[in-house]
Amino acid sequence: MYFVDAVLAFVELEARRIKYNMTEVITRAVQPILWLVVFGPIMARVRALPTGGIPYVAFITPGVILQSITFVFIFYGLTIV
Amino acid sequence: MQFLIITPIALLMGVRIVLNPLYIILAIIAMAITAIGFSAFSVWIATFMKTRERFMGLGQARTMPLFFASNSIYPISIMPPIFREIALGNPLTYSIDALRKVLIIGTTNGLIIDITALVIFMSIFTVLASIQIRRIIE
């Protein structure tokens, strides 16, 4: 169970860091909100992209979720540099 | 040896519009696999770096191509042919496809291909990162 302990330690580290510094939550949320609120409706008005029958904002939602996840995690190696 | 955080995902999830609550568990699994894969990738890159500045600079050079060479804001079918090939080798494409199927359209057709690709990506970089970390510690 050494592995589970190690993973839980990192989860706890991350949870404590967020609890201590709530601004991080807001700064992480700003960019995806802008994508969904500004970019999505504007590009939906153009109607240039074949999205296969789904609304454009719904089409980009998975992309925006994963983009924000990726941007957080791609810098995660910073802790060991 | 992989370092992962699941907590920010939940926070990131809460902000979004969710149209189909039935498939949320599948979506969270797909997101967790992606997150583990990218953090392993990041750790693997970080083991080669000597300074923080170099890592940050390279971070920007990695995120933007990954994002724009995927099917996040436009379908792959309207891309130029060269970029289509690049997008098919991009792990983000598969996770976005999986999430789009599960959350927006609400089907599980072809989901197995996406998940398989993500698991392969995750295991490759986890193994690479573990090997590299062990070498650096020694």
What is the domain count for chain A?
A: 1
Q: What is the pLDDT of residues B41-83, one digit of tens each?
A: 888 888 887 777 787 778 777 777 777 777 777 777 777 777 7
Query: Which residues from A are below 8 Å from B130, CB to CB?
Result: none
Q: Which pTM does this prediction carry?
A: 0.77
Return the domain boundaries, chain B: 19-137
Q: Nearest CA to B69 among B85, B52, B46, B50?
A: B85
- 3 state DSSP class of B110: coil
Spell out the residues 6+ positions from residue A69 whose beta carbon is closer than 8 angstroms to its own: B8, B9, B12, B31, B34, B35, B38
Q: What is the pLDDT of residues B121-133, one digit of tens each?
A: 888 888 888 888 7
pLDDT at B2 over 50: no
Q: Give ipTM to 2 decimals.
A: 0.74
Q: What is the pLDDT of residues A1-25, one digit of tens each?
A: 677 777 777 777 777 877 887 787 7
Query: Which residues from A are below 8 Å from B19, CB to CB?
Result: 58
* Per-residue H/E/C for B13-78: HHHCCCCCHHHHHHHHHHHHHHHHHHHHHHHHHHCCCCCHHHHHHHHHHHHHHHHHCCCCCCCHHH
| 8 Å CB contact of A70 and B12 | no
Domain that holds residue A36: 2-80
Question: What is the interface size between A and B, counted as CB pairs within 8 Å?
Answer: 142
Spell out the residues 6+ positions from residue B113 whose beta carbon is closer than 8 angstroms to its own: B94
Average pLDDT, chain B: 74
| 8 Å CB contact of A70 and B8 | no
Q: What is the pLDDT of residues A28-76, one digit of tens each?
A: 777 777 777 777 777 777 776 666 666 777 777 777 777 777 777 777 7
The answer to whether B69 touches B86, Cβ cutoff 8 Å, is: yes
To the nearest whole Å, the CA of A29 is away from the closest chain B CA by 7
